[in-house]
Amino acid sequence: MQTIIEPFKIKSVEPIHFTTKDQRVNILRDAFYNPFLIKAKDVIIDLLTDSGTSAMSSEQWAGIMRGDESYAGSNSFFRFEETVSSITHMKYIIPTHQGRASEKILFSITGGKGKYFISNTLFDTTRANIEFAGAEGIDLLCEEGKQPSLISPFKGNIDLIALEKTIQEKGVENIPLVIITVTNNSGGGQPVSMANIKAASLICKKYSIPFFIDACRFAENCYFIKQREKGFENKTIFEIAQELFSYADGCTMSAKKDAFANIGGFLAMNDEALAMKCRNLLIITEGFPTYGGLAGRDLEAIAIGLKEVMEEDYLKYRIRSIEYIGDKLDTVGVPYIKPTGGHAVYLDAKAFLPHIPANEYPGQALCGELFLEGGVRGVEIGTVMFGKYDADGKTISAPMELVRLAIPRRVYTQSHIDYVAEVIIKVFKRRETIKGYKIVYETPLLRHFTARFEQL
Ligand SMILES: *Cc1c(COP(=O)(O)O)cnc(C)c1O
């Protein structure tokens, strides 16, 4: 196979600051073994998130200069609105400063005590906003999605039978909306098939429940549909995206993902009454409806990024560059969620460190070791992020213990990625000596951002 090269040249560079292993021992201890508390300057390869970390294109930077900063009715807003509308065909498009602001608005209006929001898998901020609004989130991931080593094309699908059963059990009046995350970030960046989206949307229609999409990585999901689902081989990503959104009544979006923007997001929907309520809350919390917490220049960057992300040369390189890490890990049998997803490699910490129990946070321990070994920063998606305590204070563990290595868009080259694979393999070779952690400080919601740990 011919090498798939980065479909861009580099015009502006940012230096990487190298550290030694001895320095990293101190850095990690000073950060209480929490990667979120490490200073960026002390990280060699930063795979903490693909959110807001994209390299913008020269066109986007040109758009930044063109940004119209008028408070009301700016040109940049209309360019943004037109682009979002061409992809989603939604009637009401509401800019926000990032994905969770869209969630905060949507769920504080539709949520409340006794309400349930059903999903394939809710992302951490989505679940937190649902719970903050007094409601409950229910994840109904398909069985394939729960088996990390199983190769299957659409492991992000929602379990359709469970969806209908849950609607009947909880009662239609208690389910304000169903929201499907594409690709499924917390479940390995796995895609959702068009057939699954269509079927879920039909079930929602049957019960008159609005169907939403958490669209952060819609383009990556559409590329998987093109590659893996019959009937989409010859369609453009734009056409596939249009069909995907045609099944939805609304969507939330973080433009920090598949829009190559460093900040931004939106909320879109067809229901006028709901849109009015959202806009009113937007004015109080984010800003006037034609800028919603963003500068005009951000709206420009998003509008341009949304078009660039649907280019197939880019998506081919993007998806292949993630798969490439997986291929390297396979050479020594490092366990990870297979097949690789859209934006990240998810190491299976439970299988990587089988001697560390969930209440000693194997994912967090693995993150620490990757940093010590090579200055690589990833994030735990496991019991630190999603664990709870029962009435007796015993840990209720998360279904999977993962370490996500998210690849920023258009930022790192192949040799950076080769280095990351080498670091993972080195840690894998000495895995038996790795010890777990205990938590010494935590907050009730989204504790992973600020929790402090000690090595056992
Ligand atoms: C990042 C993300 C969000 C939240 O977006 P922010 O811009 O970080 O607030 C919501 N859902 C998913 C699936 C995400 O990946």
Determine what percent of the chain is predicted with pLDDT higher than 90.
Answer: 95
The DSSP annotation for 322-342 comes to HHHHHHHHHTTT--B-SS--S
pLDDT at residue 393 is higher than 80: yes
Q: What is the mean pLDDT of the chain?
A: 96
The answer to whether the CB of 104 is under 6 A from ligand 1 is: no
Q: Which of ligand 1's atoms lies nearest the C-alpha of 254?
A: 7
Atom 11 (ligand 1) nearest CA = 123
Digit-coded pLDDT (tens) for 359-387: 999 999 999 999 999 999 999 999 999 89
Digit-coded pLDDT (tens) for 396-419: 999 899 999 999 999 999 999 999
Report residue 3's pLDDT band, with 50, 70 and 90 as the boundaries.
confident
Question: Among all chains, which residue has been given the structure tokens 């999409």?
Answer: 213
Helix axes 58-66, 296-308, angle to 10 degrees: 150
Reduce the DSSP state of residue 42 to 3 states and report it: helix
The answer to whether the CB of 51 is under 6 A from ligand 1 is: yes
Predicted local confidence at residue 439, as pLDDT: 95
The answer to whether the CB of 42 is under 6 A from ligand 1 is: no
The answer to whether the CB of 216 is under 6 A from ligand 1 is: yes
Digit-coded pLDDT (tens) for 331-365: 999 999 999 999 999 999 999 999 999 999 999 99
Q: Which of ligand 1's atoms lies nearest the C-alpha of 101?
A: 9
Predicted local confidence at residue 153, as pLDDT: 97
453: which strand partners? 439
Average pLDDT over residues 150-167: 97
The answer to whether the CB of 120 is under 6 A from ligand 1 is: no
Q: Which domains does the chain have, with CATH numbers?
A: 21-50+312-455 (3.90.1150.10), 58-308 (3.40.640.10)
Report residue 446's pLDDT band, with 50, 70 and 90 as the boundaries.
confident
Digit-coded pLDDT (tens) for 62-103: 999 999 999 999 999 999 999 999 999 999 999 999 999 999
For the chain, the first-to-last Cα distance in angstroms comes to: 46
Predicted local confidence at residue 4, as pLDDT: 87
- The three state secondary structure string of 211-231 is EEEECCCHHHHHHHHHHHCCC
CA torsion 42→45→50→53, rounded to 10°?
60
The answer to whether the CB of 119 is under 6 A from ligand 1 is: no
- Specify whether the CB–CB gap between 260 and 308 falls below 8 A: yes
What is the spatial distance between Cα 111 and Cα 115, in angstroms, rounded to a whole number? 6
pLDDT at residue 156 is higher than 90: yes
pLDDT at residue 1 is higher than 80: no
Average pLDDT over residues 294-312: 98
DSSP state of 139: E
Predicted local confidence at residue 271, as pLDDT: 98
Contact residues for 204 (Cβ-Cβ < 8 A; gap 6+):
178, 210, 211, 249
Q: What is the whole-number distance in angstroms between the Cα of residue 253 and the centre of ligand 1?
A: 7
Average pLDDT over residues 129-139: 97
Digit-coded pLDDT (tens) for 239-295: 999 999 999 999 999 999 999 999 999 999 999 999 999 999 999 999 999 999 999
Strands 45-46 and 452-455: unpaired
pLDDT at residue 2 is higher than 90: no
The answer to whether the CB of 256 is under 6 A from ligand 1 is: yes
Predicted local confidence at residue 328, as pLDDT: 97
Predicted local confidence at residue 343, as pLDDT: 95
Report residue 47's pLDDT band, with 50, 70 and 90 as the boundaries.
very high
Q: Which of ligand 1's atoms lies nearest the C-alpha of 100?
A: 9
Nearest to 197 by CA among 243, 238, 152, 166: 243
The answer to whether the CB of 181 is under 6 A from ligand 1 is: yes
CB atoms within 10 A of CB 57: 18
Predicted local confidence at residue 186, as pLDDT: 86
Digit-coded pLDDT (tens) for 176-218: 999 999 999 988 899 999 999 999 999 999 999 999 999 999 9
Predicted local confidence at residue 262, as pLDDT: 97
Q: What is the whole-number distance in angstroms between the Cα of residue 229 and the centre of ligand 1?
A: 26
- Specify whether the CB–CB gap between 266 and 255 falls below 8 A: yes
Digit-coded pLDDT (tens) for 99-120: 999 999 999 999 999 999 999 9
